[in-house]
Amino acid sequence: MMFEEKTMKSDKLYEGKMLNLRVDTVELPDKKYSKREIVEHPGGVAVIPIVDNDSLILVKQYRKAVEKFLLEIPAGKVEINEEPRVTAIRELKEETGYSTDKMEYLMEFYTSPGFTNEKIYLFLATDLVKGEASPDTGEFIEVEKFKIDALIKMIERGEIIDSKTIIGINLAKKYLDDKQ
Amino acid sequence: MMFEEKTMKSDKLYEGKMLNLRVDTVELPDKKYSKREIVEHPGGVAVIPIVDNDSLILVKQYRKAVEKFLLEIPAGKVEINEEPRVTAIRELKEETGYSTDKMEYLMEFYTSPGFTNEKIYLFLATDLVKGEASPDTGEFIEVEKFKIDALIKMIERGEIIDSKTIIGINLAKKYLDDKQ
């Protein structure tokens, strides 16, 4: 028998641009109280952009939180009242310049449900048409094309270390293998 | 040519039990300033526990941040000065009761590098010996065994929605397929 944690008190500690922080006091199944530190996040989309039937378009950018340049699938925050599919088309175009109407929903997942409600909606983009990128102010992004088999090896060598990108590349591999 | 973001100022806003929050003011390549909201997290381990050559041991627990019961691979926070491999053996035993010396490092990844430095070290556990679980105070966990092929279907149906667990199950599938 499992029980939910009952919220006894909820303290907002910070309301920011990208995230909020709150601490909930919860009642556990044994009636004891505990604290839960929770980061509220609007959630995002991530896109697996497939080109040439064997390659993906990835983006490289500096991630201050980890003090590293990371190679990732294109992604972005969902705006208020925006359909994730619309976000996916918009972010792909902004970050990479590629546009398409073929944006297929694949799955959604939580990045780290132990402390944040951030959820990512993952899409597969095909029939891509190349164009001009138009990143947001403050975004500095490099766009690069990689063969799917090279990407699988880069995961194995620890050169791709972003969770959504690992999930996306594995799904792209399955999709491309199934098509052959 | 890519540039790192230079830290001009760093404000600690919250120091908690599980995480800290800070806001960095950074200088961008175009010399403009921007804010980065960053959640500092000690990082964790996650374990893929393989039994019977075709099954995994998973845990189900209530996750307050997402207000849901989630099915996940066993995981836990790395304690200060603790080797991730030691954490993995300890957490597996505490959460599931299973113990082993065969704890093999597979890979590491960031859960959401856009705003947190949380990194997960992923291990593969084999030769498991069943014993008594001993969860931490305030942890209420159900332990359950699943066939790997059932787990793959559960991901496809959206019943498993935790990123580290999706990555772990995909790796377990590869490992078990390669062994046959």
Residue B1 has what pLDDT? 52
B177 shares contact with chain A (CB less than 8 Å):
no
Which CATH superfamily does the domain covering B44-108+120-179 fall into? Nucleoside Triphosphate Pyrophosphohydrolase (3.90.79.10)
pLDDT of residue B89: 96
A2-6, A16-20, B64-68, B76-80: least confidently modelled range: A2-6
Residue contact A16–B23, C-beta within 8 A: yes
For residue A1, what pLDDT is reported?
53
Q: Does A68 touch chain B (CB under 8 A)?
A: yes
pLDDT of residue B5: 93
CB pair distance less than 8 Å for A155 and B107: yes
Q: Considering chain A, what is the average pLDDT of its residues?
A: 95
**How deeply is A160 buried, as exposed, middle or buried, from its count of CB atoms within 10 A (0-12, 13-18, 19+)?**
buried
pLDDT tens, residue by residue, B56-81: 999 999 999 999 999 999 999 988 88
Q: Is the pTM of this model over 0.90?
A: yes
**Contact status of B33 with chain A (Cβ, < 8 Å):** no
pLDDT (tens digit per residue) in A140-166: 899 999 999 999 999 999 999 999 999
DSSP string, B56-83: EEEEEEEETTTTEEEEE--EEEPPTT--
Considering just the CA atoms, what is the radius of gyration of chain B in Å?
19
User: What was the pLDDT predicted at A164?
Assistant: 98
Q: Does B63 touch chain A (CB under 8 A)?
A: yes
Q: Is A39 on the interface with B (CB under 8 A)?
A: yes
The fold for domain A44-179 equals Nucleoside Triphosphate Pyrophosphohydrolase (3.90.79)
Report yes or no: B8 at the A interface, CB cutoff 8 Å.
Answer: no
Q: What percent of chain A has pLDDT over 70?
A: 99
Residue A139 phi/psi, 5-degree rounding, is -100, 125
- The pairing of beta strand B103-110 with beta strand B119-125: antiparallel
Nearest to A26 among B4, B64, B110 (CB): B64
Tell me what ipTM this predicted complex has: 0.96
pLDDT tens column, A59-111: 999 999 999 999 999 999 988 888 999 999 999 999 999 999 999 999 999 99
The answer to whether the CB of A21 falls within 8 A of the CB of A14 is yes
> For position A51, what pLDDT does the model report?
97
CB contact under 8 A, A70 and B112: no
Q: How many CB atoms lie within 10 A of CB A120?
A: 25
| B158/A107 Cβ within 8 A | yes
Query: Which residues of chain B register pLDDT less than 50?
Result: none
Percent of the residues in chain A that have a pLDDT greater than 90, as a whole number: 87
User: Rounded to whole angstroms, how far apart are CA atoms A19 and A17?
Assistant: 6
| Res A92: pLDDT | 97
Residue B114: list chain A partners with CB under 8 A: 18, 44, 63, 65, 75
